[in-house]
Amino acid sequence: MRTLAPNSLILTFSNILNAAAGFALSLVVGRGLGESGFGVWVFCLTWASILTMVCEFGLNSLLTREAARMPGRLNQLLIISLAIKLVPVLILAGGVWLCSPIIALNRESIAALRVSMLIVFAVVSYGSFTAVFRSAGWMSPILWLNLSGGIIQLVWSAWILWSGGSILALIWAAFAVDIGQLFAATLLWQNRLRPTGGPLQFTRADLTQMAMDTLPFAVSGFLGAIEARSNVLLLGYLSGATEVGRFGMASRFFEAARLLPNGMYDAAFPAFAGQLAEGKNPREMFRRISKVILLYTLLVTVTLIGFSRQIIDWTYGPLFLSSVPTLSWLGVALLPTLHNAMMEVYLFATGDERYATKLGLIGLTVQIVAGIPLMHFFGALGAAFGVLIGELAIWLPLRVRLGRLLPPMPEHHDAV
Q: Give the CA angle between residues 41, 333, 15 to the nearest 5°.
A: 60
Q: How far apart are the first and last CA of the chain?
A: 32
Q: What digits encode the pLDDT tens for the residues 208-252?
A: 888 887 777 777 667 666 665 677 778 877 777 778 778 878 888
The rounded percent of the chain whose pLDDT value lies above 90 is 15
pLDDT, residue 339, reads 85
Alpha-carbon 176 to chain mean position = 20
pLDDT, residue 414, reads 41
Q: Is the pLDDT of residue 123 over 80?
A: yes
pLDDT, residue 181, reads 94
Q: Per-domain residue ranges for the chain?
A: 4-405
Report residue 261's pLDDT band, with 50, 70 and 90 as the boundaries. confident
242 and 55 Cβ atoms separated by less than 8 Å:
no
Q: Is the pLDDT of residue 155 over 90?
A: yes
Alpha helices in 56-165 (DSSP H): 59-69, 74-88, 94-103, 107-135, 140-162
pLDDT, residue 415, reads 38
Question: How far is residue 391's CA from residue 234's CA, in Å, rounded to a whole number?
Answer: 18
Alpha-carbon 81 to chain mean position = 18
**Least confident among 86-100, 155-169, 245-259, 396-410:** 396-410
11 and 263 Cβ atoms separated by less than 8 Å:
yes
Question: How far is residue 93's CA from residue 3's CA, in Å, rounded to a whole number?
Answer: 39
Its pTM stands at 0.65
Integer CA distances (angstroms), 312 to 29, 107, 249, 318, in order: 15, 30, 9, 7
pLDDT, residue 253, reads 84
Q: What digits encode the pLDDT tens for the residues 297-319?
A: 899 899 988 898 988 888 887 77
- Specify whether the backbone of 164 is left (phi greater than 0), alpha (psi in -120 to 50) or beta: left
334 and 300 Cβ atoms separated by less than 8 Å:
yes
